Structure 1
Amino acid sequence: MSRKEVRERLLAGAVSCLQEKGYARTTARDLVAASGTNLASIGYHFGGKDALLNEAIIACFEAWTVRTEQAVFADTLGTPRELLERAMAALVDVFGEMRPTLMGCVEGYPAALREEALRERLAGAYGQAREAGVGILRRAAAESGIELPVAPEVLISVVIAISDGLMIQWLLDPESTPDSRQVVDALAALSAVL
């Protein structure tokens, strides 16, 4: 097995462990079992168990960003509202199928509060998500011929905050959490009264 293959297997195994056991309960032996590698390979490729789990969390965030971008541009753009509905659907209506991944990601937040390396990596992942979102927004605005009312960085940060907040609500109480259409309707209603 090549070094690249070992690294990829370790990362895939770490994502699997995050989904099945969670951040705090995953041991180095779990990672070895899930990846079919050996203990020494964790240190060689990632510097340790925590660093590997941190990379797995980042990989989950990055995959979600790519998935959202693909969903937004999977069809003709349509109106700004339709575009927002597609984006919110890709961010919110996927919670059920992504539950194990979401749990692993959320478990990474407390660790990031105490571990500078993870905090920096998560901040970087959020930066990449914002950058990708700004790119989506600018492309959509250009293709639709609309002018954005505020800076795209601000709009995307708010959309991410809404998505993250709904994710936490959904993990705690899925039945009471609004779906993407309800979110877009609520944003439209807020816009009408402001």
Structure 2
Amino acid sequence: MDRVARTEAGGYRDRLLAGAVSCLQEKGYARTTARDLVAASGTNLASIGYHFGSKDALLNEAIAAFFEQWTERVEQTLFAGRPGSARELLELAMRALIDVFEELRPQLVLCVEGFPAALRAPALKEKLAESYARCRTAGADMLRRAGEQFGVELPVEPEVLVSVLVAISDGLMLQWLLDPAATPDAGQVVAALAALSGLIA
């Protein structure tokens, strides 16, 4: 493949992913067709098969890409500040997970709509499970590096902490989509966790 062809192929893949995100946000997982994807991306039907194998594989990749991008945002937030305690480190992480809901609303809807679809689509279920696994691994690594860099001693194993933080974020994401005004922010969540810790210590 010559340089022009390689450039075009790479451009088509990116355009297909962008088109898939647009379609998923507008129509949802079940209602998005291959022709919708072609129209949104300005590509052609053959390019879907060439780059992703199928329409469903393209949609699955688009959903997984959002998880990856969100994980990267969390990392940038953690290492942009200088927390002096485990609580400050936790609050930084929660800001990147919770206080961004308004900014990420279209992607959150896309994410939530992917869950019921995954229950009936083994390939999507596997893709989302892989995304969560990468998120846990990356998150644990971030916390270890942050703890070492800032001299913060983590109160529990990083893998356990990341799983709990993701569960809290996912649950609050659902609450926020239904009733934003009643959903606590990162500071309130950390305060609540600290209060619970005092009750059960």
TM-score range, shorter chain: over 0.9
5+ unaligned residues in a row in structure 2: which ranges?
1-6
Contact 1:23–1:107 (8 Å) recurs in 2: yes
Q: Which residue of 2 aligns with 1:70?
A: 76
Q: Which residue of 2 aligns with 1:148?
A: 154
TM-score (norm 1): 0.95
What is the deviation of 1:172? 1.4
TM-score (norm 2): 0.92
More deviation in 133-142 or 56-65?
Answer: 133-142
1:30-71: CA deviations, max 9, x gaps? 211111101121122112211111000000111000011101
More deviation in 159-168 or 170-179?
Answer: 170-179
1:64-118: CA deviations, max 9, x gaps? 0001110111122332211111111110011111111011111111111121111
Q: Percent identity?
A: 69
Contact 2:86–2:155 (8 Å) recurs in 1: no
Q: 1:113 to 1:31 in 2, by over 3 A?
A: same
Contact 2:82–2:150 (8 Å) recurs in 1: no
Give the partner amino acid of 2:108: L
What is the deviation of 1:188? 0.6
Give the partner amino acid of 1:169: Q
Aligned length in residues: 194
Residue pairs, 1:157-172, within 5 angstroms: 157-172=163-178
Contact 2:86–2:154 (8 Å) recurs in 1: no
Query: Is the partner of 1:37 in helix, strand or coil?
Result: coil
Is 1:114 paired with 2:117? no
Contact 1:18–1:100 (8 Å) recurs in 2: no
What is the deviation of 1:171? 1.0
Contact 1:32–1:38 (8 Å) recurs in 2: yes
Q: Paired residue for 1:37, among 14, 38, 43?
A: 43
Give the partner amino acid of 1:110: P
Superposed structure 1 runs of 4+ greater than 3 Å apart: none
5+ unaligned residues in a row in structure 1: which ranges?
none
Q: 1:77 to 1:149 in 2, by over 3 A?
A: closer
Contact 1:85–1:184 (8 Å) recurs in 2: yes
CA distance in 1, matches of 2:150, 2:79: 12
Give the partner amino acid of 1:57: I
More deviation in 144-153 or 119-128?
Answer: 144-153
Query: Is the partner of 1:78 in helix, strand or coil?
Result: coil
CA distance in 1, matches of 2:9, 2:152: 48
